[in-house]
């Protein structure tokens, strides 16, 4: 289990660091860069085998509910990608934000379960 946590920690650290970088040109980077920065930090801590169960629970709850809130703001499903990666509609942006934050939720849940198995 420890090797799996190291692998997932490294993988998600890279993914979330890229997510944070891509948010720099977003209309609201002051919100999204710290969100993915925290996910990057937690992933690095998971890689180092230094996770905090209470923090993981709080982050999971916050990110999962934030994803639900963002998803519920969509007025229609328009997919993630149409004619490239640039944002064409607000609904696409909301869908991408919700799924991105759910990926963070997923990682927190995985780290929590792996932490329990120690």
Residue-by-residue DSSP string for 31-95: HHHHHHHHHHHHHHHHHTT---HHHHHHHHHHHHHHHHHHHHT-SS---S-SSSSS--SHHHHHH
Q: Is the pLDDT of residue 92 over 90?
A: no
Q: What is the mean pLDDT of the segment spanning 46-54?
A: 95
Domain count, the chain: 1
CB 107 within 8 A of CB 45: no
The confidence score (pLDDT) of residue 78 equals 77
Q: Which residue range forms the structural domain that includes residue 102?
A: 2-116
Q: Is the pLDDT of residue 99 over 90?
A: yes
Q: Is the pLDDT of residue 83 over 70?
A: no
């Amino acid at each position: 289990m420890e090797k799996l946590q190291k692998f997932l920690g490294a993988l998600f650290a890279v993914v979330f660091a890229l997510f944070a970088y891509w948010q720099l040109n977003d209309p609201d980077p002051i919100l999204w860069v710290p969100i993915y920065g925290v996910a990057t930090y937690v992933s690095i801590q998971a890689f180092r085998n230094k996770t905090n169960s209470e923090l993981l629970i709080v982050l999971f709850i916050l990110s999962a509910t934030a994803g639900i809130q963002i998803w519920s703001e969509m007025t229609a499903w328009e997919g993630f990608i149409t004619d490239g990666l640039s944002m064409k509609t607000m609904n696409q942006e909301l869908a991408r934000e919700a799924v991105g934050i759910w990926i963070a939720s997923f990682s927190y849940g995985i780290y929590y379960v792996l932490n329990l198995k120690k």
